[in-house]
Amino acid sequence: MSDQYYVAVVGAGPAGLFAARELARAGARVILFNRDIKAGGLAEYGIYPDKFSMKDALRSQFRQVLDTPDITYYGNISIGNQGDLTLDDLRACGFQAILVTAGAQGTKWLSMPGEHLTGVYHAKGLVAHYNRQPDFSQMPFHFGKRAAVVGAGNVMLDITRYLVHKVQVDEVVAIVRRGPAEIKFDKKEMEYVIKNLDLEALDNEIKRVAPQMIAIGQDPAVAKAMILEALPKAHPTNSKTRFRFQFLVSPSQIQNDENDYVSGLEVEDNSLSLTDGQVVVRGTGHKRVLDVESVIFAIGDTVDDSIGLPVKRNEFIKNPAPRFPIDGICYEVFDPDSKADISDIFVAGWSRQASTGLVGYARKDGVNGAKAVLQYLQTLPPKKANTSLLEARLDEIGKPIVTQEDINHLSAIEQYEGAKRGIEGFKFSTNEEMLDAIMTVGYTPLRLRSKAGKIREG
């Protein structure tokens, strides 16, 4: 049964990896393309840096996936309209189906005045920076003494943790559009920063918004207790950073000084009401300015429209009448202009629904996306994979293309370098450093395509 279908998977995060394994186990020949050198996606570059055991466990799983027969990994290669290969290039190479699991590479902004100022960042860039993702590892950041983090989820707490323990700013204020009864973060993530939470400020903030909460049937005391659930297992702190919340406020404008640095954040107070049993948040028109020197938006992500698929409201457009739904969910891409599905292209993971769930969710969604692809493939005649067209096209690209063998080689070198330097979880910060390390003689055989398009071995 092996090698009866030929499928491209774009993106090697958890969704792409486990989708590739599902496809290969079902008899498909799978080529896994990844923009990064390393596989793992946000599991490699989005988990807080010192969660070493979690990262090691995930990397072990990923290595096992890449060891699956009939999966070939190509890293350091981008797919899209401005990439090394386009979706049409993949079709021309003979792939019968393409599953896009490239995550949500775009950033979501609020389009407010001042977003261009020095000191304004998106959480995606900062998380990638402190996780040494090559595109962001060398980026400079200016936080000043007081930072605002916009959002109410786990990413907000990860950013707060970094500002509290690594940068050690004087103050972090979380800007939350809704009330304290509707926070989205987990108790476990709060344990890392709750030692720095200003309890008196929390009391005052709960009292300030309590009348509105009570008016719609919410209990301020319960909401406060939920926030403080993390106290018994609070992690020790190494800073005097003050952490506090501002509830029921929305950013409206970022103010600047004479050098175009952030000098303040204007926010609008919100009100709560019930409409058809749903909590509704509305602006009151009353605005005030918070004294901050940086603003980090932790408000979610959007897909990358440069891949070449139709986008609406931060997501790729899916077929409203799916042919191959899995558990009632559509994984098929739809073209609104022709009002027809794009039959050979599917999406899964955050490429299907941005900023949804963590590693376990992405894994499940990738597997289900693969099942949808397999249903589609069964409507086609079996086709033995012919990789010669792809090999010829890769030779034309003229850049190093990384294989699974190469990333195993890189992993061994990083472990060696970490042990030598006494650094747990050591990894190189730039693509250049990683490629140089891979090309080091003395480890496993290396296969990289040189600029001349030939196979280089070391």
Q: Are residues 157 and 262 in the same domain?
A: yes
pLDDT exceeds cutoff 70 at 327: yes
Residue 235 lies in a domain: yes
* 172 contacts 241 by C-beta, under 8 angstroms: yes
Placement of tokens 């296969």 in the chain: 447
- Catalogue the long-range contacts made by 203-211 (C-beta closer than 8 Å, 24 or more residues apart): 205/180, 205/244, 205/245, 205/246, 205/247, 206/180, 208/247, 209/179, 209/180, 209/247, 209/248
pLDDT exceeds cutoff 90 at 390: yes
Residue 408 lies in a domain: no
Q: Are residues 184 and 271 in the same domain?
A: yes
* 290 contacts 269 by C-beta, under 8 angstroms: no
- Max CA pair span of the chain: 71
Residue 345 lies in a domain: yes
Q: Are residues 210 and 264 in the same domain?
A: yes
Q: Are residues 258 and 160 in the same domain?
A: yes
pLDDT exceeds cutoff 70 at 442: no
Residue 404 lies in a domain: no
Q: How many domains does the chain have?
A: 2
Mean pLDDT of the chain: 90
Q: Are residues 183 and 326 in the same domain?
A: no
Interatomic CA distance for residues 75 and 401, integer angstroms: 6
Strand partners, 297: 122, 150
pTM, two decimals, is: 0.81
Residue 429 lies in a domain: no
Q: Are residues 256 and 161 in the same domain?
A: yes
Shortest CA distance to 451 belongs to which of 407, 394, 391?
Answer: 394
Q: Are residues 168 and 212 in the same domain?
A: yes
CATH of the domain at 128: 3.50.50.60
Give the least confident one: 1-10, 154-163, 264-273, 376-385.
1-10
Three-class SS string for 124-172? HHHHHHHCCCCCCCCCCCCCCCEEEEECCCHHHHHHHHHHHHHHCCCEE
* 17 contacts 65 by C-beta, under 8 angstroms: yes
Q: Which domain holds residue 32?
A: 5-105+302-397
pLDDT in tens, 92-146: 999 999 999 987 677 778 899 999 999 999 998 998 898 888 888 889 999 999 9
Interatomic CA distance for residues 134 and 40, integer angstroms: 14
**Residue 217's pLDDT is what?**
95
pLDDT band, residue 454 (cuts 50/70/90): very low
CATH of the domain at 64: 3.40.50.720
Q: Are residues 245 and 334 in the same domain?
A: no
Residue 425 lies in a domain: no
**Residue 314's pLDDT is what?**
81
> Phi, psi (5° rounding) for residue 294?
-155, 155
pLDDT exceeds cutoff 70 at 412: yes
Q: Are residues 154 and 245 in the same domain?
A: yes
pLDDT band, residue 357 (cuts 50/70/90): low
Determine how many CB atoms are found less than 10 A away from the CB of residue 56: 12
Domain boundary among 279, 299, 319: 299
Determine how many CB atoms are found less than 10 A away from the CB of residue 180: 23
Shortest CA distance to 75 belongs to which of 416, 415, 409?
Answer: 409
Residue 438 lies in a domain: no
pLDDT in tens, 12-67: 999 999 999 999 999 999 999 999 999 887 667 766 777 767 777 778 888 898 99
% of the chain at pLDDT higher than 90: 67
pLDDT in tens, 283-304: 999 999 999 999 999 988 778 8
Q: For residue 12, what are its two tokens? A: 């090697």
Strand partners, 64: none
Domain boundary among 276, 299, 322: 299
Interatomic CA distance for residues 427 and 406, integer angstroms: 15
* 103 contacts 14 by C-beta, under 8 angstroms: no
Residue 412 lies in a domain: no
**Residue 48's pLDDT is what?**
72
* 135 contacts 107 by C-beta, under 8 angstroms: no
Domain boundary among 299, 331, 352: 299
**Residue 369's pLDDT is what?**
97
Where b means 16+ CB within 10 Å and e means fewer, 302-340 reads bbbbebbbbeeebbbbbbeebebebeeebbbbbeeeeee
Q: Are residues 392 and 340 in the same domain?
A: yes
Q: Are residues 237 and 251 in the same domain?
A: yes
N- to C-terminal Cα separation, the chain:
36
Interatomic CA distance for residues 183 and 71, integer angstroms: 41
Strand partners, 449: 455
Interatomic CA distance for residues 271 and 354, integer angstroms: 28
Strand partners, 437: none
Q: Are residues 14 and 160 in the same domain?
A: no
pLDDT in tens, 226-270: 999 999 999 999 999 999 999 999 999 999 999 999 999 999 999
Shortest CA distance to 301 belongs to which of 15, 447, 107, 124?
Answer: 107
